Structure 1
């Protein structure tokens, strides 16, 4: 079983290429809260709903001092196509070797259609300004968890 992060744990640092191939590090966001969410594949129906939900709530989240980063195992070119097709305005990061996904407990065994498979575990984390996990949500649904985060954040 993949090790899961909990509130109070240090957020595992990463530097990953964004959709344009530019490196983005978690440490770039120190001093601000950041939502890091892990999703299986750009352009699939569930992941599109989830990304658009973040996009549609981004202004309110940003106004509350919260940034958003989406991470998947997709290559930057696929992320760029997804970003452009959906008008996404927050960074999408490529974790092709799944090191960040694994470090955050967002890759491993999961149930899919009644079978145990290995893959990306849809997960969302709130990281505090000091780089610690404030909230860790595993096996989230593609729709609805942005509303829960906004409620938790009082946004």
Structure 2
């Protein structure tokens, strides 16, 4: 597993997004980037996380921060998820797990004694120069978006 640490250069990413778009780290140069990984679109925790980040969208925009949610869901599913919940952020599709693996969020999980590979709920704050400034692993959704916004404002 890749271990992303604070102070290191952020691994590049290039993702298909909702609305038939693309998002790349290079394309966001000069802006703060909140890259958050979530297990599955339209599940309770992931929906709440998306809603929490969306509720703060104007405040993230005010400090020129891009918020990008990443899952292994197909773009069509992300389109439905975004429309259903009126999410105000970019959703990236990493169906082949390349970005999840590069960021160390494609991990072995356990549920009811069964082991399987899945996406760890984790968030990374990248500064305008492409350096990782904060790392949150095993994120608990409640209050997380507010913590991330405070960290962006502190950059």
Q: Same fold (TM over 0.5)?
A: yes
SS in 2 for 1:150: helix
Cα pair 2:65 2:152 within 8 Å, conserved: no
Q: Deviations over 1:83-135 (max 9, x none)?
A: 00111121101000000001001111234456543210000000000111011
Aligned to 2:47: 48
Change beyond 3 A, Cα 1:142–1:111: farther
Aligned to 1:99: 98
How many residue pairs end up in the alignment? 154
In the TM superposition, 1:107-122 aligns within 5 A as 107-112=106-111, 116-122=115-121
Aligned to 1:71: 70
Deviation of 1:12 (Å): 0.9
Cα pair 2:16 2:23 within 8 Å, conserved: yes
User: TM-score normalized by structure 1?
Assistant: 0.92
Moved over 6 A (4+): none
Cα RMSD, aligned residues only: 1.6
Aligned to 1:24: 23
User: TM-score normalized by structure 2?
Assistant: 0.92
Structure 1 window deviating more from structure 2 (120-129 vs 12-21): it is 12-21
> Separation in 1 of the partners of 2:103 and 2:118?
13
> Separation in 2 of the partners of 1:27 and 1:74?
23
> Separation in 2 of the partners of 1:34 and 1:44?
24
Deviation of 1:20 (Å): 2.2
